[in-house]
Amino acid sequence: MFDLGALVRENIRRLTPYSSARNEFSGTADIYLDANENAFGSPIGGELNRYPDPLQSALKSRVADLAGVRTSQIFVGNGSDEAIDLAIRIFCTPGRDRIMICPPTYGMYSVAANINDAPIDSVPLTRYFQLDVPAILRALTPETKIIFLCTPNNPTGNSLRRDDVIAVIEAFDGIVVVDEAYIHFSTQSSFGSLVDTYPNLVVLQTFSKAWGIAGARVGTAFADEAVIELFNRVKPPYNVGTLAQEAAIAALDQRALIADWIDQTREQRDVLSAAFAKLDFVVRVFPSDANFLLVKMRDAVAVYRSLIDSGIVVRDRSGVILCDGCLRITVGTPDENRKLLEVLGGLNF
């Protein structure tokens, strides 16, 4: 049985959250003398002398329409990395409660766990980069509070089988975080709408990849509103700045452009994938549902260094479990990809 109250850290359950000026009075007034802001104004315009909306209601109502969830089921963070950190802080008592990851996967789950002193259990993906569900269930302990799954997965690029993800969500009484940073490039559907069905599901999305505003630092988490209430309680009161909230809303106004860029990214992914496969030092190009390709090479480190010498930087993942000999290459613009292929075509390994 899933019991949110029992899962939450004792001190978080009892926490009295900081109550900001904007929390205590959220109506409209003529004169605001409640938050020690600069009453003369912002020297750079934009009403930046005022603190941001702590609960980002304008942005959330836009995200809610798009994602098919209610605003009460949305947390907005300083990147989705903030949601990863908060999830661990909410549920894992340091030095005791554990998280589970399925490597190779995104490195921030381990880093955030280490910062919060949460021990990590690793259950590697299969050689097809899919979940080993029986092994995951065998490795659970009474202290396991969160399982992090990533689909499409970074750095492998593939989507996890939907049935496997559901099986884990249904079998585990703790929190399952499904990280969908690359969902917009995938043909798979989001798990976002399932937060109505599964009270233990947290779905992460981000404005950093397809939405094109990594520099603004905006990420979202979708979950049952009882879980979102915990995120709101623990987050810094003004965790997302006014400029970042405005940037995300402005990006959402550019849906047609983003859709076009996603189409081009997918096309270019196919172009790169086919071209990589023809290179004789390439051992394997893995299928991708994301905006990057994982490519196994005869001598990945040598290729990596040669690319750097030509002014092109990719990600060396050759030291990562199940990724030996692999580089992770982001899909660029058609022009960037042509230049990449030109350099690769001139290499001999």
- Which residues form the interface with ligand PLP (CB under 6 A)? 79-81, 106, 150, 154, 179, 181, 206, 208-209, 214, 219
Give min distance, CB of 220 to ligand PLP, in A.
9
Contact 174, 146 (CB under 8 A): yes
Return all residues near 79 (Cβ < 8 A) that are at least 6 apart: 206, 208, 217, 218, 219
Point out the residue whose Cβ comes nearest to ligand PLP: 79
Considering beta carbons, is residue 80 or 190 the nearer one to ligand PLP? 80
DSSP string, 246-298: HHHHHHHTTHHHHHHHHHHHHHHHHHHHHHHHHSTTEEEE---SSSEEEEEET
The dihedral formed by the CA atoms of 66, 69, 74 and 79, expressed in degrees to the nearest 10: -40
Considering beta carbons, is residue 214 or 301 the nearer one to ligand PLP? 214
What backbone torsions phi and psi does residue 74 show, to the nearest 5 degrees? -120, 130
Give min distance, CB of 178 to ligand PLP, in A.
11
Give min distance, CB of 68 to ligand PLP, in A.
20
C-alpha span between 97 and 66 (Å, rounded): 35
Considering beta carbons, is residue 216 or 303 the nearer one to ligand PLP? 216
C-alpha span between 122 and 132 (Å, rounded): 11
Give min distance, CB of 173 to ligand PLP, in A.
24
Between the CA of residue 183 and those of 124, 157, 279, 290, 291, what are the distances in Å?
A: 22, 11, 29, 7, 10
Considering beta carbons, is residue 8 or 113 the nearer one to ligand PLP? 113
Cis check for the bond before 119: say yes or no (omega within 30 of 0): no
CB atoms within 10 A of CB 57: 14
C-alpha span between 223 and 201 (Å, rounded): 6
Give min distance, CB of 27 to ligand PLP, in A.
32
Give min distance, CB of 342 to ligand PLP, in A.
28
Considering beta carbons, is residue 101 or 140 the nearer one to ligand PLP? 101
Give min distance, CB of 19 to ligand PLP, in A.
27
Considering beta carbons, is residue 220 or 318 the nearer one to ligand PLP? 220
Considering beta carbons, is residue 116 or 154 the nearer one to ligand PLP? 154
Between the CA of residue 281 and those of 93, 193, 270, 274, 293, what are the distances in Å?
A: 48, 43, 19, 14, 16
Considering beta carbons, is residue 73 or 220 the nearer one to ligand PLP? 220
Give min distance, CB of 208 to ligand PLP, in A.
3
